[in-house]
Amino acid sequence: MDRRNVMTIGAAAAVLAMAGTFSAPAIAQQKLVLKATDVHPLGYPTVEAVVRMGKKLEAATNGRLSIQMYPSMQLGGEKEMIEQAQIGALAFARISVGPMGPIVPELNVFNLPFMFRDTAHMEKVIDGPIGDEMLKKLSDHPKANLIGICWMNAGTRNVYNSKHPVRTLADLKGLKIRMMGNPVFVDSMNALGGNGVAMGFDQLINAMQTGVVDGAENNYPSYASGQHYRYAKHFSQTEHLMIPEILVFSKKTWESLSAEDRALITKLGKEAQKEQRQLWYDAEKAAIKQMQDNGVQIVKIADKKPFQEAVKPVWDKYGKDHAGLIKRIQDVK
């Protein structure tokens, strides 16, 4: 080996050493701001849980990773949020399972009316093996292009309208009720005797104001924080749906992350699931108070049996391919 070659090898080694010392950590240090969005405003439990998650992420990575939250439908309604996450225009979207049903069929089981016996049952399902399995089903789905990070509570959904109190199925007759964009919900409302109208959450206030719909259905915090009582003050505890929510992550962005960063986000997601739950209970209480302060009549449904009977055809139509999963959910005690 002549001297020139030795020098060349030496120089190459020096370059490699420099690359090892400076360039690789420089790449690792590159800051990444992960965009997140939610239909709800700052302070709402789902939003707050993700904001807190962002602070933890920032602390754990010395500021390398952070979350920037765009609340209050700043990036559009849920449909737009899902589409943006799918193409990687944003990283996190906190969405209801509602609009995911048509994409991942198994998830539609959570969208069946009166699926869960009560909150404890729903929580046990999402916290347990079925919950993990459903997140995996979403993450593995070839067309969803999303990673399921964690679940969040969203209480029960209840019908509200501007016309009159709903106490029985007969009271729903002729009422135009906005439902989330998924045929299972329109079919459910129609089975209950009302007229289900599918539209985005972002169009709801306008639709109530102009009388395109007489009302909608949602949980207490959504109704109160959106001040829906200004347009529909008859609120009935139909509790016909109990749909958990999911924090999803863009698969495109996920694939660009290191295994460590993925593991960190997964871990913080599990913590967010727990934290959001307490925030949720507090928000439900505050929402009921806000409703009472604003003169909302919260109507109790004395007999829910007829409501449960009425949606049987919806179960036959949407549940028939998932009998095994439905049975496993029902067997969770």
Give residues in contact with ligand BDP (CB under 6 A): 39, 78, 95-96, 154, 180, 201, 218-219, 222, 245
Q: Up-side HSE of residue 215: CA atoms within 13 Å toward CB?
A: 26
**Closer by beta carbon to ligand BDP, 65 or else 314:** 314
Minimum separation from the CB atom of position 24 to ligand BDP (A): 40
Q: Which two tokens stand for residue 140?
A: 């593995």
**Closer by beta carbon to ligand BDP, 65 or else 186:** 186
Beta bridge partners of 234: 161, 297
Minimum separation from the CB atom of position 101 to ligand BDP (A): 13
Minimum separation from the CB atom of position 331 to ligand BDP (A): 27
Report the residue closest to ligand BDP, judged by CB.
Answer: 201
Cα 187 from Cα 183, distance rounded (Å): 6
CB 200 within 8 A of CB 74: no
**Closer by beta carbon to ligand BDP, 205 or else 326:** 205
Cα 21 from Cα 6, distance rounded (Å): 22
Minimum separation from the CB atom of position 38 to ligand BDP (A): 7
CB 194 within 8 A of CB 201: no
**Closer by beta carbon to ligand BDP, 39 or else 75:** 39
Largest CA-CA distance found in the chain, in angstroms, rounded:
98
CB 101 within 8 A of CB 182: yes
Cα 253 from Cα 262, distance rounded (Å): 10
Q: Which two tokens stand for residue 1?
A: 């080996």
Minimum separation from the CB atom of position 93 to ligand BDP (A): 10
Minimum separation from the CB atom of position 160 to ligand BDP (A): 12
**Closer by beta carbon to ligand BDP, 65 or else 247:** 247
**Closer by beta carbon to ligand BDP, 96 or else 250:** 96
